[in-house]
Every structure is written in C-alpha cells, then in structure tokens.
Structure 1
C-alpha cells in the first residue's frame, strides 16, 4: 500500500471576497459584457427557485450530498456567503445538512457506495469554498473539511487516480473521479489549507495518462504534440467526450500545470462544440449540454480565459437565459432548468435533475462575479512548486 504523509491544517491567512476582480479579469471585461441585464435576471430567478424548493432540512429532498453541495454552491457563487446576504440562511441549511452527515472516516456520502468519491469530492470542494468565504470560521466545518481532505489522500490509488468507492487500490477508475478530487484539493489550497505535494504529483501523472492523441499512443510526446487529441474517460483512449476534454483541462489548471500542451488541444475540442450549439428558442429548461458537461465546460473556458472565454462564454450564457423555464410566478417550475443527461450521470431526473441543472446553470451565470475563492486566484506557482517538490 502506498504510504504518504498527511499534512493538513489551517494557515494563518484568511481569504476574503475582494471588492474588485483580478487585473486579468478586468482586462477581459473590456472586450465583451460578461454580465447582461438578462443574465442577472435569469440568475435571480434560478436562485429563487432553489430557495423556494430547498425545504426545512436544507437538502431539496435529496440524500445525495454532492447535489446538496451543488445547491449551496449556486448561492455561494452569487455572493451569498454562510449567514450573509439574501440567501445566507439557505446556504447555512445546505451546509449543515452536509456537515452533520460526515462519517467518522471523513467520508461525505450517505447514498450508494458506488458514488462515494463522486459525492465526496464535490461536497469537499463546496465546503472548501464556503470555508474561504467565511470570515469567522466555523470550527465544525473546519474539522469536517480537514477529515474530508485526509480521506482523499488516504484513498488515492497507487497510480494517482481514485476509485468510485472510498478505498485505495492499485489503479484508479476514470478521469471523472480525478476531476472531482482535483477541485476539492485546489479548493483547500485557495481556502488556506495545505495539501501533501506527493498527492498532487501522482494525480497530475494520472490525468496525463488519460490523454489520447489521434494516432498511436506509443508515439513520442513530441510526435503527439503535432496531432489532434483530447482527454478521455479511460486510459485506453475510450470515452473521448466533451465532458472529459473539459475535465482534463480543469484538472491541469487546478494543479497549476498552466503550460501543459494538452490544454490547448482540448480547448480546440471544447470551443468547436460550443460554437456548434444551436440557439435556444423555447423556454423548456433544456441546457446547452447536460449539467455535468456544462459544469466543467464553463470552468475550463473561464480558467483558460482569452479567446476561448470571450468567444464561447456568451453563447453558453445566452443559451441558458433563453432556455430557462419561465411560467407564472406561482408555478413550481418557474425559474428552473432540467438536466437532459441526469440518468447518464447517475441521477434519477425529476426534482433531483432540476436541482442539479438549476444549480449548475446558476453557477455558470454567476462565474463573472468571481465571488468564489477558486475564481479569484490567478496562477498559483507555489502550488505547482509544492507538487514538483514531491518528485
């Protein structure tokens, strides 16, 4: 079994929400309007739907801690921190539901065991963001977050990936699991926590192993760089979806590998897919991609910035605005979106599908606000150096 030191702990520095976006973000705002009056109204309607449907327990009737975390993330991304803002109470309720159900092992999953590391990674990421947005730190949230991060390190497989179930084995399962943990680990760093560098270094290697070029995988790296390619679901090159292309980009960015040549290859795939989207013409709540794919596509575009962000983000934003369900204000569906890919990604559709899709849509519409700690950071050279120190 792979042994590694576990060094997690709170740092002295406290992150606060800045009043101005980073300089890089300001320069981008000169080229196009990231936020429109229509997108602001759409975001407000989406948050209102989430608040109306949350319920007293704070979980939208779901025992999927990942989905409950996504509901909290929607509010957080719009600047509603725990206990603060119009929806501060809703954030508190959702976080309480997650935190109070942490297992002694640190695991954040109370549903199907096959969803251990899906739900755990996503819930840990959200807790990390909440931690970074809270001036007066919640000690219980801190303890749960610390235990959740230790579990991610403890169950990392020997090849650097992760399995669906929370246990360590020789080989990880697929890239969709790695990206969940990548975001959780980066969230920890952005929120003032330390991560063992060897965990990051192993994870970077695992993600690169999921890249496949349009040719013989035995080609040298220099030869692969000349050919089209993308990140795939499995190491053998299977599952070359838009979701996995975006997930791989997000992993590389979260781990500080900004100059990795694979990022550009995958951004070509992502940008082409976004530009091929038809315009939304009916308010049926459909999304430009399934919610899972959209979640990572939006982040990949934002993190890489530049031309991909300027060319593609307005298309996603305007599609969501045009497709949002708008009915009478008394309607239960007014302000939501539906996830046409819910069953594909392990959910059952219905109200959980609405929760997932609406949370992701709100997150995408709120990205330009840059309230989340993970959206405020520029390049993190120290994170990359820590990872490389583990070689």
Structure 2
C-alpha cells in the first residue's frame, strides 16, 4: 500500500465508486469503428471535449507512468489507459502511444508477482484488470518494455492472466462469493464487486479463461442485493439497506447485461428504474462515478434511453469543463477527468467492453 493511501481513503471512493497457469488466449480482432452500429459521426462538441480532456491527462501523467492524485494506484492509471484507448488513436503509433506504454508498464510493475494483486484495494485490482483486458491484443507487447527490460518483465497477457487468478482466489475465499476492499475480506459490497466483475467479464471477452461458476456466483450475489423495484443494496450478502443509489442500480444493470443475463427479472427491474429516471442525477459529490456506470448501463440496456441521457450529459459536461481540459470533483482533477471522459467514451465505442 502506498504511503498515505489507506483502505479508509479507498472506502470513501468505495461509497462513490460505490500464479500463472491459465492458457494464454489468442489476440482479439480490432474493435469496431466509432458509431459503426448506427452510422453516425461523433458530435463535434464531444470530440472537442474529449480531445481537451486527453491533452490534460497527457500533461498530468506522473513520471513513473501513473495518474490519480489522492487516489494514485494501478486502478486510476487503468482508467486513464481506457480513456486513451477509447479515443481511437492508434495505441502503437498514435499521439498517445508513449503515454499508454508508460502507463501499462506502471500497472504491471505494481502487480504482486506471486498473488497477482495490484495493491491498495480490490478497486485498484478491478479497474487495472479491466484496463489490461482492453489493452490486450491492441497494444503490441514487443514495444511495451524498453530494450533490455522485456526479458525480466511480464507481458500484458501474462499480467492479465495473473490478475484473473488473483481475483478468483479472492472470490473463492469469500463467503459471499463476491469482493470487498481487501483480497482476504469475509464480506462484500456491490461497488467493489461491480469493479471486480467487470474486470473478469472483460478478461473473458478478451479470451482469458474465467470459469462460468465464478461469474454465476458473482451474479447471484447481485441478485440477492437487488430488490423487486430495482433498488440495489450496498453491502452484506442477503440484501437489505436498499435506497435509490443510481450508481449501484447502474452497476447491477451493467453486470447483468455484460454477463448476458438480461433474462433475469432483477435486470428488468434495474433497467426499468434507470429508464424512468433519466433526468435524475442523484450523484451528489459522486456524480462522476455515477455517470461512468450509468452511461454504460443505459447503452447496454436501451439505446434510445442512452441517447436521451447522453445529450443531458454532454450539455452538463460542456458547462463544467475547465480551460485546461480537466474537470473538478470529489476525486480531484485527474480521476474526475478520467471518469468523465469514460462516460463520454460511449460516443466513440472503440473499447471492446463498450460494444453492444
């Protein structure tokens, strides 16, 4: 754990955010072009906002390759990686290719070579796993490490397999078959579990072996935490504590959709709740975290509802973006900008996890 970064600090983010051995999979094909499903161009105002945000992140990257400010770690660096990849710039030769390689090296260097754990919190582990999944097959490993270092360093695929193994080991030791801040935790919450499950689902989509049993048990945890009216509890293992948290409702909707469980009544309930409250922000201090998940949940659930909600998002972010391209918020400029860009990234649809 980094000096000054406690589980308590990640607990605040939690409220808001709410050994090798697996076979190495084949590389994926390139993601679909932006707006390919509807044949539309990315709106100019979205492109301009996104480009300014990326320029800010490029300038804010730390010397060792990371980002994050107060929440510095593999997970926040992973969010920046996803924001860079989502722009559609060539990850190997484009304007941000060096930033991407530095960031990926930073993530891999933070990984425990024995356990696969990225440290600080299972939040970091989930978002770092998600980022490696999105980079796998897109970033050329042959150019990842400086000459002379590659022999002693893990590739993206090897680091991803190790991260998956660490996530599965943590889940297997948890009575709820889900996740909390620590990999050794005996309880769980839907915010951390959402981050972890999205990382595993992305890894599975990338071709890494993730047992169906693991996904099924995690989804069962979410169904236990979802009420009939679509509200989602925060912590525990048998529901309760339901309130109208748009972030948690969005997380549940998203994991049901990406795990291909749209047949579940719980999915229908959470999606219905989101669709009936498109103009309700409800994020408070944690608006950016809510937007990050709500954008994906609506996009996967109902494209017309996402289009309506996205217009409101674009209007709000145009009014709040600062001159240097950053956004302010509960998480500081770097992490807040990452989250806002990723909420906008559905307009591009380059990330494999953002495809429908």
TM-score band by shorter chain is: 0.7 to 0.9
- The correspondence of residues 315-326 of structure 1 with structure 2, limited to 5 A, is 315-326=312-323
Q: What 5-or-longer segments of structure 1 have no aligned partner?
A: 1-5, 214-227, 279-285, 327-333, 343-352, 379-391
Aligned partner of 2:327 in structure 1 is 337
Aligned partner of 2:11 in structure 1 is none
Aligned partner of 1:202 in structure 2 is 217
Contact 1:162 1:173 in 2 (8 A): yes
- CA separation in 2, counterparts of 1:127 and 1:94? 11
Matched, 1:260 2:261: no
Aligned partner of 1:175 in structure 2 is 190
Write the deviation string for residues 227-264 of structure 1: whole angstroms up to 9, x where unpaired: x3322213432152111000101111121102222223
Q: What 5-or-longer segments of structure 2 have no aligned partner?
A: 1-19, 145-153
Instruction: Tell me by how many angstroms 1:272 deviates.
Output: 4.2
How many residues matched?
Answer: 319
RMSD of Structure 2 on Structure 1 (CA): 2.5
- CA separation in 1, counterparts of 2:161 and 2:25? 12
Equivalent of residue 108 in structure 1, options 76, 99, 118: 118
Instruction: Tell me by how many angstroms 1:179 deviates.
Output: 0.7
Aligned partner of 2:29 in structure 1 is 15
- The correspondence of residues 362-377 of structure 1 with structure 2, limited to 5 A, is 362-376=341-355
Query: Is the deviation greater in 307-316 or in 45-54?
Result: 307-316
Counterparts in 2 of 1:246 and 1:133: CA distance versus 1, 3 Å: same
Contact 1:78 1:363 in 2 (8 A): no
Contact 2:261 2:267 in 1 (8 A): no
Contact 1:230 1:262 in 2 (8 A): no
Aligned partner of 1:275 in structure 2 is 279
- The correspondence of residues 1-391 of structure 1 with structure 2, limited to 5 A, is 8-19=22-33, 25-26=37-38, 29=40, 35-60=42-67, 62=69, 63-80=72-89, 82-104=91-113, 105-109=115-119, 111=120, 116-134=121-139, 140-156=155-171, 157-167=174-184, 169=186, 172-213=187-228, 228-234=229-235, 235-240=238-243, 241-277=245-281, 290-326=287-323, 334-340=324-330, 342=331, 353-376=332-355, 378=356
TM-score (norm 2): 0.82
- CA separation in 2, counterparts of 1:20 and 1:180? 25
Instruction: Tell me by how many angstroms 1:13 deviates.
Output: 5.0
- CA separation in 2, counterparts of 1:20 and 1:141? 25
- CA separation in 2, counterparts of 1:289 and 1:123? 21
Counterparts in 2 of 1:56 and 1:287: CA distance versus 1, 3 Å: farther
Contact 1:287 1:320 in 2 (8 A): no
After the TM superposition, list the runs of 4 or more consecutive aligned residues in structure 1 that deviate by more than 6 angstroms.
none
Instruction: Tell me by how many angstroms 1:166 deviates.
Output: 0.8
Secondary structure at the counterpart of residue 227 of structure 2 = strand
Write the deviation string for residues 7-52 of structure 1: whole angstroms up to 9, x where unpaired: 7322235321334755xx327x5xxx7x321111111110111011
Instruction: Tell me by how many angstroms 1:277 deviates.
Output: 4.9
- CA separation in 2, counterparts of 1:60 and 1:193? 27
Task: Choose 1 or 2 for highest CA Rg.
Answer: 1
